[in-house]
Chain A
Amino acid sequence: MLPYEPDDTLAHRLDPRSKLAVQMGFAIAALSHTTPGALLACTLLTGAIMVTTRVPLGRTLAAYRVALVVLVAGPLVTTLSLGSPWLDPSEGVGPALASYRALLVLLVSAAYVRSTPVRDSRAAIQRTIPGKPGRLLGAGIALVFRFLPVLRADLRTIREAMAARLGTERSALERASTTGVLGLSRAFTRADRLALAMQARCFSWNPTLPTLSFSRVDVPAFALAGALVLSVLL
């Protein structure tokens, strides 16, 4: 996994909203074109984004290995058929190009993650989505980041306890249901304590919003996002 890393790249200085706009624009542009020329352009843009954001290519590909397996498996499946000629590589070309552009979108996304701390993403969401949904979404994202390591540790403890009590001899069903019961009841116990603590600290619908401000570097980012969206018309 490739988390946020503090740095001073151009992407780190951008407002999260303009980075999200570029990300969306790129996905729209990449997913609406499959011509080799368009894919070449997308590849060059991806390379530029990765270099300026200092995203390590090898480690990023390794992080997305699960997705890569499926991206390779997909085109392979289409080359097979249930009868003569059994295997037809030409069938797989379109899907292979489609898989490739999906990979490009993932790489651009890695640049977003590396350059954007949680509080920025959260602020972008809370400032973009108005009212109560935005409030709960913003606070909820912070809670997921906070409790993810806690609940991972819970699941690890549960697994170790099961293994200690002859867990490997248990059926898969028993293991899944035991993990589910213990994992969820612990999570809910924590949630009930958390709810009290949040109330004691005046959890409100109208808090001070996180600060965010656009600067001059955001203008070209938005222009790029706009151009990417308009490229759909080409």
Chain B
Amino acid sequence: MKTENEHESVELVDGAVVRQFARAALLAALMGAAVVATIPYPLSPAPVTLQVLVVFLAGLYLGPLWGAASIGLYLAAGAAGAPVFSGMTGGPGVLLSEPTAGFLWTFPIAALVVGLVVHRGLALRDPADVPLATVVAGLTAGLILTYVGGTSWFAWLIGTSLTEAAVAVAIPFVPADLLKMAAAIVIVRSGAIDTV
């Protein structure tokens, strides 16, 4: 028999928070799994993954806060050693000195921006009901941000000019990223996924 006040100090996490948190954690795991979901792409020395698509989906379906938290969680798990970065690597050093880590650092901000533009604030709405132009604007802003982050990091780390950096890590990937943007739009218009 339990005493009256045995667990009085336990502060339960609110059910709505648990639900968003679980979705954010699983989307972070999906982001990690997507590192092996590659599409063949001739312009790149490394296979092109669907990770940018997952960043888009984070902003679209989890909104700005949980979307950014989800991608942040992905980075934290990778830093803790989960094999979720390109080439299935992990560890804190990847975030500190990988030549393309600038993309990684900008991903949570991109999810935040996509979420803010599409949901027009912190309350979630169904992306299928959002005007197409707004969705495109949000995704474009997010994508440009990742290019800015990825290019400037590379230029700083390796000591190249911004143009050289863009030639090395951004420009070759534009067509592939536009494809992922189109895929995100197809997904939104299909209305197949619900927000909480």
Contacts and interface: CB of A to CB of B under 8 A. Distances in A.
Instruction: Let me know if chains A and B touch directly in the complex, using CB atoms closer than 8 Å.
Output: yes
Interface of A: 1-4, 20, 23-24, 27, 30-31, 34, 63-67, 69-71, 73-75, 77-78, 94-95, 98-99, 101-110, 112-113, 116, 118, 121-122, 125, 136-137, 139-141, 143-148, 150-152, 154-155, 159, 172-173, 175-177, 179-181, 183-185, 187-188, 190-192, 194-195, 198-199, 202-206
A203 B19 CA distance: 11
Given A176-B50, A205-B13, A71 B22 contact: no
Contact of A75 (B94, B158, B192): B158
Interface of B: 7, 9-13, 15, 18-19, 21-30, 32-34, 36-37, 39, 45-46, 50, 53-54, 57, 61, 69, 73-74, 76-77, 79-84, 86-94, 96-100, 154, 157-161, 164-165, 167-169, 179-180, 182-184, 186-187, 190, 192-194
Contact of A155 (B23, B33, B46, B90): B33
6 contacts: A1-B90, A75-B158, A102-B98, A145-B82, A147-B25, A180-B50
Given A1-B90, A155-B37, A191-B22, A177 B183 contact: yes
B132 to A, nearest CB: 15
A147 B97 contact: no
Nearest to A136: B21
Task: Please report whether the interface of chain A is mostly helix, strand, loop or mixed according to DSSP.
Answer: helix
Contacts of B164: 77-78
A1 B97 contact: no
Contacts of B13: 199, 203-205
Contacts of A145: 77, 80, 82
Contacts of B76: 125, 137, 140-141
A109 B99 contact: no
A131 B82 CA distance: 24
A226 B68 CA distance: 32
B87 A113 contact: no
A51 B88 CA distance: 23
B159 A95 contact: yes
A184 B61 contact: yes
Nearest to A73: B168
Contacts of B54: 180, 184
Which interface residue of A2, A172, A205 has the most chain B CB atoms within 10 A?
Answer: A172
